[in-house]
Structure 1
Amino acid sequence: MVDLNHSGLTEYSFERLDERAAMEWMQTHWSKSFVFSTVYAALVFGGQHYMKPRPRMKLRRPLILWSLSLAVFSIIGAIRTGSYMLQVLSVGGFRRSVCDQSFYNGPVTKFWAYAFVLSKAPELGDTAFVVLRKQKLLFLHWYHHITVLLYSWYSYKDMVAGGGWFMTMNYGVHALMYSYYAARAAGLPVPRPLAVLITSAQIGQMATGLTVSGLVYRWMQHGDCPSRLHNIFWAALMYLSYLLLFSNFFYQTYLRRRGDAKTTKVE
């Protein structure tokens, strides 16, 4: 295990988490993620039915505050976990960054790892804005929310290898994504290439997650990359499905429509 207690990373008072209590709570209550997911699905599709004969809600200010709060949370999380991961990479190398479990109980990331998994429950609230504003609800949207919640709570309790990469990447992508949403909700001019960049980052995140899952499986055979076979299976399946869905979204949104527009113009 990499010792980063003297790495120069300052642990702030709010980051002083009792990781044992946090781990025990998750080991006892992780299955409640299924309850949250079931209630979420019922509210989403029930809400769509409720809103069908009713006018869409604007919700501009609540959406700005919601997106901005998640953007700030994700930016700070990305900085804190990213700094820690860089330290692991510089001290122990790439393999250690994948296999080391110190991310779950390190002086900085123990708080941000727990905050990450807990945040997947309130993040379900994203969909309320889609439903109440009567926007198109993509399968990718609600499938992603449910599966991330289930897998995050399921994996945290076992401190599986690869978690540092999974969580840090997610913080980074969400920092960009929610900042973009906040700017759009506030009516600020946002260049289209930024949206392309965010989707590209999401695709890169899924490809990296799939690669890390494969490396965990490979290195687990040598006994220094703690995980479980069924966890690796679900992680790989999840990231593969995300990779396919986000790639299809990229094609349908940025490539196919552009091609259709060109064809229409010619005709």
Structure 2
Amino acid sequence: MSLSDLLVASLPLQYIPSSLHSFQAGKTPLSTLPVVLPVLAGYVATVFTLREVMRNREPIRLNTLFRAHNAILTLGSGLLLALMLEDALPKTLNHGILYGMCGRSIWTPKMELYYLINYYFKYLELLDTVFIALRKKPLTFLHVYHHTATAFLCWVGLHEHISGAWLAITINLTVHVFMYYYYWATAGGQRIWWKRYLTQMQIGQFIVDLAFICYAVGYMLSNDFSFLAPFASRIWPALPYGQTGCAATYRSAAFAAPVATSYLLLFVRFYVQTYTKRRGIKGKSE
């Protein structure tokens, strides 16, 4: 029995409302814009309110809760990563990367459940910022923006039924396994030397995400507007011209591309300021 079959068999799905293991707009919790947007706005308001409340107070350690939070996200991200790869990777290896990105049959009931779990993980990850505010750690625009936009991006993927989203999600989950382990370990007093490589992994993640988006959009354009195919084939010969159908939408790409670009620019800026400039200042002081 595979890992996914074992998980599904262990869940009493017959007793669980279908809206909790499949995405049904209006029935599934946090499935519509009138709900999602106020929740995310409330998250931002809560974070900045907490920061003001804590301004003249002593930091609250919350070390046990903080470690438990990071342990849950480390193990949860690892399990979800294994489940998604087990379901989608063999199909992609057998049929090719285009199938993995655009194939409609990638969107199975099990994969939809995994996408939904990943989506709810994004709301659990919002507690990262609450811990930062209560512990009076530096709170950056990048952190708040990244958490907010990623939760919304995952909602878009579910709402638009983007089959190929598993590619970006699995890369993100891989990063999160290392990232949340890092926070769990350092909160326990361990010294971790590879923190900068986490940021490098995140930068690489957004470059790959943008490549996937460009490939999918180029494929859709070349098929939806056949007169573009001769020009597109000169620029990107690898596109499988003449084939039709892709489980992606221009609307989702129009949102995902700018967000991924902004992530890339902000994380590169963070990396330069955190590691490159600090190294230069340290060298001068020495």
Query: TM-score under structure 1 normalisation?
Result: 0.88
Deviations 1:200-239 (A, max 9, x none): 1111111111111111111123232222212101100000
1:60-209 equivalences under 5 Å are: 60-105=63-108, 107=110, 109-191=111-193, 194-209=194-209
* Counterpart-to-counterpart distance in 2, 1:67 and 1:252: 26
Aligned counterparts of 1:173 and 1:33: Cα–Cα separation in 2: 25
1:177–1:198 contact (8 Å) kept in structure 2: yes
Match in the other structure for 2:247: 226
C-alpha contact (below 8 Å) 2:19/2:27 kept by paired residues: no
Q: Which amino acid aligns with 2:259?
A: M
Structure 2 residue matching 1:56: 3-state secondary structure: coil
SS at match of 1:120: helix
Q: Deviations over 1:83-103 (max 9, x none)?
A: 333212211111111112344
- Counterpart in 1 of 2:216? 216
* Contact residue 209 and residue 239 of structure 1 kept, 8 A: yes
- Paired residues in the alignment total 256
Quote the offset at 1:19 in angstroms: 7.8
Distance 1:59 1:21, change over 3 A: closer
RMSD: 2.2
Larger mean Cα displacement after TM superposition, 215-224 or 50-59 = 215-224
Cα 1:81–1:48 shift into 2, 3 Å: same
Give the match for residue 11 of structure 1.
5
* 8 Å CA contact 2:106, 2:163 repeated in 1: no
Paired residues of 1:26 and 1:156 also in contact (CA < 8 A): no
SS in 2 for 1:226: coil
Q: Deviations over 1:176-202 (max 9, x none)?
A: 1101110011111212xx212211111
> 1:44 aligns to what?
47
1:133 and 1:20 map into 2 onto residues whose CA distance is: 34
Higher relative contact order (CA 8 A, sep 6+): 1
TM-score in terms of structure 2 length? 0.83
Gaps of 5+ in 2: 224-243
Amino acid at match of 2:186: R
